Amino acid sequence: MTVNAESTAGGNTWRDLPAAQQPEWPNPEALRDVIADLQSYPPLVFAGECDLLRSRMGAVARGEAFLLQGGDCAEAFDAVSADHIRSKLKTLLQMGAVLTYAASVPVVKVGRIAGQYSKPRSKPTETRDGVTLPTYRGDSVNGFEFTAEARTPDPERLKRMYHASAATLNLVRAFATGGYADLRQVHAWNQDFVRSSPSGQRYEALAREIDSAMNFMKACGTDPEEFKTVEFYSSHEALILDYESALTRVDSRTGKLYDVSGHMVWIGERTRQLDGAHIEFASRIRNPIGVKLGPKTSPEDALTLIDRLDPEREPGRLTFITRMGADKIRDRLPELVEKVTASGARVAWVCDPMHGNTFEAASGHKTRRFDDVLDEVKGFFEVHKGLGTHPGGIHVELTGDDVTECVGGGDEIFVDDLHQRYETACDPRLNRSQSLDLAFLVAEMYRQQ
Ligand SMILES: O=C[C@H](O)[C@H](O)COP(=O)(O)O
Ligand SMILES: C=C(OP(=O)(O)O)C(=O)O
């Protein structure tokens, strides 16, 4: 990969355009030094891996595979530990096994992991007891603690983000290929969980079926290598453009630009302005790109996004991640899907059932109802069924820990329970049991489709 200012100039064209949701760094010189350091760091991912994911996403767009994309709302530097990383990965592997086996579909597994450190916010400041400070924008920008010192954006944090992402990705790669993700471990992923939880028990039953199927294949003389490792990709929102463009490099094989901070990046609902910096940045890189589409998205917006981001109409290049809200999806999604399909574009359609269903509980906790999450996914499947298009996947905020951030699910978390283990730094995540419940229900919907 080449790293000189001239060769990566195409990754900087966004600088002439308005960039929403960027931190107000107090010291531009310090930022410049950090960018220079980041530019000298090695890539976190290889461009060829991004190409492979783009081809996997092509299968999703063509209706031949299903995307499971999930992980924290906001990763935190102090959660870069083996336990945290393992439990997230384990949850995703379990969900992947459920979807693959119960829905009989190849599942493309992508974590919101190893880079999801930056958050767009509704308000630039937060006021508590008469004190107003900058809002928390993710560990890549400032600290969560409500003090002036912690909340002041510090560009050195961008370097910590790089190192935290590198450490996380290193362990994820080790787990994915070093034996932990071997499908023969399908029971081991569940060990700490099965006795206490209905979804754990349901999973255990499915794991026994997977075992029998594998034993059967072995008895027939096939023991495929594919079962021993898992293809797992990283993704995050490409929000802080100084960071993303510092990690944008020319691929020596093709001469094209790749954002090597993660395999897939997405542009959020708050930064997808057609004439804005984020779309310009995304248009220059060859990674598979996601764009979040909220309930106000017009078909014209969607078509313009396709023209900007996927001019070649290449299946796998562009994923629309819709996040409409359970009460709106059945109204708003059909026109978008219809017009995009009629235009000849082959995007992947993925459902984020989290971001349109957030509300504040009386206790002040931001939360989501599991039933709303499920209903949005149902609406997503209904719309695609009605139009004969492919419901390509789900994008969820989840954790492997037994947090109490979303209400409902098989283990029945009530609004009054939220305080017990409310650990997210930003938005509420499904816990492990709710995540597995969702995987089973989605597998059922997929099978019926
Ligand atoms: O995760 C998404 C956004 O960052 C989040 O929903 C914004 O939350 P806020 O409205 O509390 O700023
Ligand atoms: C901010 C996010 O979502 P959205 O852009 O859809 O609000 C997110 O997924 O973290």
pLDDT (tens digit per residue) in 260-283 = 999 999 999 999 999 999 999 999
Please name the residue whose Cα sits nearest to atom 6 of ligand 1. 427
User: Average pLDDT of 239-268?
Assistant: 98
Ligand closest in space to the Cα of 395: 2
With contact defined as beta carbons under 8 Å apart, do 70 and 442 qualify? no
Ligand closest in space to the Cα of 69: 2
User: Average pLDDT of 407-427?
Assistant: 92
Please name the residue whose Cα sits nearest to atom 12 of ligand 1. 121
Q: What local confidence, expressed as pLDDT, does residue 4 receive?
A: 47
Domains of the chain by start residue, with CATH: 9-181+229-448 (3.20.20.70)
Give CA separation, 2 vs 245, 253, 311, in Å.
Answer: 14, 10, 25
Tens-digit pLDDT profile for residues 36-87? 999 999 999 999 999 999 999 999 999 999 999 999 999 999 999 999 999 9
- Residue 5 scores a pLDDT above 50: no
Distance 223 CA to ligand 2 centre (A): 40
With contact defined as beta carbons under 8 Å apart, do 384 and 375 qualify? no
Report which of residues 409 and 237 the model is more confident about.
Answer: 237
Report which of residues 216 and 26 the model is more confident about.
Answer: 26
Please name the residue whose Cα sits nearest to atom 8 of ligand 1. 121
CA triple 291-13-4, angle to 5 deg:
110
Q: What local confidence, expressed as pLDDT, does residue 7 receive?
A: 56
CA distance 20 to 274: 12
Please name the residue whose Cα sits nearest to atom 7 of ligand 1. 121
Please identify, by atom number, the ligand 1 atom nearest to the C-alpha of residue 268: 2
Residue recorded with tokens 């794991």:
207
Q: What local confidence, expressed as pLDDT, does residue 9 receive?
A: 67
CA triple 441-56-282, angle to 5 deg:
105
Tens-digit pLDDT profile for residues 344-388? 999 999 999 999 999 999 999 999 999 999 999 999 999 999 999
CA distance 123 to 354: 19
Q: At 123, is the pLDDT very low, low, confident or very high (cuts 50, 70, 90)?
A: very high
- Residue 16 scores a pLDDT above 70: yes
In short, whether 252's Cβ falls inside 6 Å of ligand 1 is no
CA distance 316 to 220: 35
Q: What local confidence, expressed as pLDDT, does residue 6 receive?
A: 47
Q: At 232, is the pLDDT very low, low, confident or very high (cuts 50, 70, 90)?
A: very high
Structure tokens at 106: 């190849």
User: Average pLDDT of 432-442?
Assistant: 93
Residue ranges lining ligand 2, Cβ < 6 Å = 73, 120, 237, 268-270, 292, 323, 355
Report which of residues 237 and 448 the model is more confident about.
Answer: 237
In short, whether 119's Cβ falls inside 6 Å of ligand 1 is yes
Distance 271 CA to ligand 2 centre (A): 10
Tens-digit pLDDT profile for residues 155-210? 999 999 999 999 999 999 999 999 888 888 888 888 777 667 788 888 888 888 88
Distance 11 CA to ligand 1 centre (A): 27
314-343: b (≥16 Cβ within 10 Å) or e: bbbbbbbbbbbbbebbbebbbebbeebeee
CA triple 134-117-277, angle to 5 deg:
75
Distance 132 CA to ligand 2 centre (A): 24
Please identify, by atom number, the ligand 2 atom nearest to the C-alpha of residue 294: 6
- Residue 399 scores a pLDDT above 90: yes
Structure tokens at 59: 């299968």
User: Average pLDDT of 411-437?
Assistant: 93
Phi-psi region of 10 (alpha: psi -120 to 50; beta: other; left: phi over 0): alpha
Distance 366 CA to ligand 1 centre (A): 10
pTM of this structure:
0.95
